């Protein structure tokens, strides 16, 4: 009886898991590979922009204003005859480091708040989470607009504004992670041994909480890129003639006959954000063992 049941019990789950696992795994890898490829390509473009760009991003050529895409200007020229392709390449040097830096600061500070709130609990937790709720009640673009307007327009202030609207979700995420790990035996054991709170957090709680934070940070880089572009589009972010993609789209507004002016910078934003979103999705499937088993 037992001998007969054993092979079935052993083979059945294996057979099922292979069938269920593979499509999901492959898709996760695909998303990760596509995302890494897009983000990698854009990073190379950003690093090597001065070498890759056919012209400098600020070179005016008034005789060649608003020229449609051609072999000399693959993406056309803008209203003062600047080469749009070169501006897009150089724009990557603004967009990517800006968004990565903003999310780095927002995630570290947000996580710190969340970790403290979750670990300390009680009244401090209650107060910090109400602060998080309040910031999340504002539509991000509006609060960022208000802050940038108050500080004065410019890319630096726009970045600060995006940090100020982006941290709370990290706090919420981190707090949840800490709460779910806090009551594990090994954490209680460490506490019982008299390990100070900071060490417990650092050595036992944070490593477990890291994967979801990494996923969210990757996805949020995409959001930060869109938000920066939106602030520049409105006129609060990057100041012309900087080749920032959002500002370039604004320059193509209400110029329907010159469609290339707004279209290509938009495609640049779309592709780089898609890249980070794929990367985040792929990382999520890779790092979350629970999802992987589903």
Using CB under 8 A as the criterion, which residues of the chain lie in contact with other proteins when the complex forms? Answer: 23-24, 130-131, 133-143, 145-152, 222, 226, 229-230, 233-236, 246, 249, 252-253, 256-257, 259, 262-263, 265-266, 269-270, 273-274, 277-278, 281
Whichever of 167 and 278 has its CB closer to other proteins, that residue is 278
SS (H, E, C) 45-108: HHHHHHHHCCCCCCCCCHHHCCCCCCCCCCCCECCCCCEHHHHHHHHHHHHHHHHHHHHHHHHH
Whichever of 119 and 260 has its CB closer to other proteins, that residue is 260
- In the complex, the smallest distance separating the C-beta of residue 272 from other proteins, rounded to whole angstroms, is 9
Whichever of 103 and 236 has its CB closer to other proteins, that residue is 236
How far apart, in Å, are the Cα atoms of 47 and each of 40, 90, 91, 158, 212?
Answer: 11, 9, 11, 23, 29
Cβ-Cβ contacts under 8 Å for 185 (sequence gap 6 or more):
none
Whichever of 22 and 184 has its CB closer to other proteins, that residue is 22
- In the complex, the smallest distance separating the C-beta of residue 174 from other proteins, rounded to whole angstroms, is 20
- In the complex, the smallest distance separating the C-beta of residue 27 from other proteins, rounded to whole angstroms, is 8
Residue 97 CA to residue 56 CA, distance in Å, equals: 20
Residue 289 CA to residue 207 CA, distance in Å, equals: 15
- In the complex, the smallest distance separating the C-beta of residue 33 from other proteins, rounded to whole angstroms, is 15
Whichever of 206 and 286 has its CB closer to other proteins, that residue is 286
- In the complex, the smallest distance separating the C-beta of residue 115 from other proteins, rounded to whole angstroms, is 22
- In the complex, the smallest distance separating the C-beta of residue 21 from other proteins, rounded to whole angstroms, is 12
Whichever of 103 and 201 has its CB closer to other proteins, that residue is 103
Residue 293 CA to residue 288 CA, distance in Å, equals: 9
Whichever of 35 and 57 has its CB closer to other proteins, that residue is 35
- In the complex, the smallest distance separating the C-beta of residue 34 from other proteins, rounded to whole angstroms, is 10
Helix residue ranges per DSSP H, the chain: 2-52, 84-120, 122-137, 140-151, 155-182, 185-192, 197-200, 206-234, 245-251, 260-287, 289-293
Question: What's the Rg (C-alpha) of the chain?
Answer: 24
Quick count: other Cβ atoms within 10 Å of Cβ 134?
10
């Amino acid at each position: 009886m037992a001998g007969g049941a054993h092979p079935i019990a052993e083979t059945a789950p294996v057979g099922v898991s292979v069938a269920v696992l593979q499509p999901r795994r492959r898709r996760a890898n695909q998303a990760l590979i596509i995302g890494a490829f897009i983000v990698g390509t854009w990073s190379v473009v950003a690093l090597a922009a001065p070498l890759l760009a056919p012209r400098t991003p600020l070179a005016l050529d008034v005789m060649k204003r608003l020229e449609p895409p051609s072999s000399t200007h693959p993406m056309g020229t803008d209203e003062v005859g600047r080469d749009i392709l070169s501006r897009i390449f150089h724009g990557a040097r603004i967009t990517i480091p800006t968004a990565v830096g903003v999310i780095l600061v927002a995630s570290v500070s947000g996580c710190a708040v969340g970790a403290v709130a979750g670990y300390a609990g009680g009244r401090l937790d209650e107060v910090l989470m109400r602060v998080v709720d309040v910031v999340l009640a504002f539509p991000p673009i509006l609060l960022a607009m208000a802050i940038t307007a108050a500080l004065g327009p410019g890319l630096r202030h726009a970045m600060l504004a995006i940090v100020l609207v982006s941290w709370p979700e990290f706090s919420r995420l981190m707090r949840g992670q800490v709460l779910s790990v806090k009551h594990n035996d090994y954490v209680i054991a460490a506490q019982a041994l008299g390990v100070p709170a900071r060490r417990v957090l650092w050595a036992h709680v944070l490593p477990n909480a890291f994967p979801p934070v990494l996923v969210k940070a990757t996805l949020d880089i995409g959001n930060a890129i869109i938000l920066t572009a939106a602030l520049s589009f409105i006129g609060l972010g990057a100041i012309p003639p900087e080749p920032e993609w959002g500002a370039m789209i604004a320059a193509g507004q209400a110029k329907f006959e010159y469609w290339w002016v707004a279209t290509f910078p938009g495609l640049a934003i779309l592709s780089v954000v898609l890249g980070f979103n794929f990367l985040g999705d792929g990382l999520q499937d890779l790092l979350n063992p629970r999802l992987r088993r589903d």
